[in-house]
């Protein structure tokens, strides 16, 4: 290279840069921001898809609704099974135990999760923190501050009536 020749450098005024006018590359910052937004949206959708089944598990299905009284056919509640109903706007669990029918407010006093009946252990279990209640509503284990609240019920020849 002779001393009169300069190495190629940035375009100088009046000198061609070698780029065709009007043909510019897309701004990588805009592309990156677009991809970040797309990935964020996909992550949000994925999170909702993961949380929805958990919410459906914790929230009981309302099988029967009633303001001050709920009736259940005895035939629909065989021994060892349970049913969650809505009584006075709250989930209430009715269980056919070996000692007879019991009913409790199904909301755990610890964090408000809905308890489930476990036939094998003959106990009510809180799925959130593993709290265990006996068939008398007393606390058998877990971080539970107090017992379940009993709900009055009566039994006729063919019905279980919650909220006498």
Q: Distance between CA 143 and CA 75 in Å, rounded?
A: 36
Q: How confident is the model at residue 16 (pLDDT cuts 50, 70, 90)?
A: low
Q: Hey, what CATH topology would domain 65-162 get?
A: Rieske Iron-sulfur Protein (2.102.10)
106-155 per-position pLDDT tens digit: 999 988 999 999 999 999 999 988 899 999 999 999 998 999 999 999 99
Contact between residue 145 and residue 154 where contact means Cβ atoms under 8 Å apart: no
pLDDT exceeds 80 at position 63:
no
Q: Which of 46-50, 61-65, 86-90 is least confident?
A: 61-65
What is the percent of the chain where pLDDT is above 90?
52
pLDDT score for 30: 85
Q: What is the pTM of this model?
A: 0.59
Q: Which of 61-75, 93-107, 146-160 is least confident?
A: 61-75
| Average pLDDT of the residues of the chain | 84
- Work out the average pLDDT over 45-58: 82
């Amino acid at each position: 290279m002779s001393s009169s020749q300069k190495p190629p450098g940035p375009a100088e005024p009046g000198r061609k840069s070698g780029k065709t006018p009007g043909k510019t590359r897309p701004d990588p910052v805009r592309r990156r921001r677009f991809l970040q937004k797309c990935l964020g949206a996909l992550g949000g959708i994925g999170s909702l898809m993961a949380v929805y089944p958990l919410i459906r598990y914790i929230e009981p299905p309302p099988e029967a609704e009633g303001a001050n009284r709920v009736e259940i056919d005895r035939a629909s509640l065989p021994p060892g099974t349970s049913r969650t109903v809505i009584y006075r706007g709250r989930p209430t669990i009715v269980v056919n135990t070996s000692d007879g029918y019991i009913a409790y407010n199904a909301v755990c006093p610890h964090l408000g999760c809905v308890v489930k009946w476990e036939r094998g252990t003959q106990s009510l279990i809180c799925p959130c923190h593993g709290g265990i209640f006996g068939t008398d509503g007393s606390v058998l284990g877990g971080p539970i501050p107090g017992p379940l609240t009993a709900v009055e019920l009566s039994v006729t020849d063919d019905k279980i009536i919650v909220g006498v």
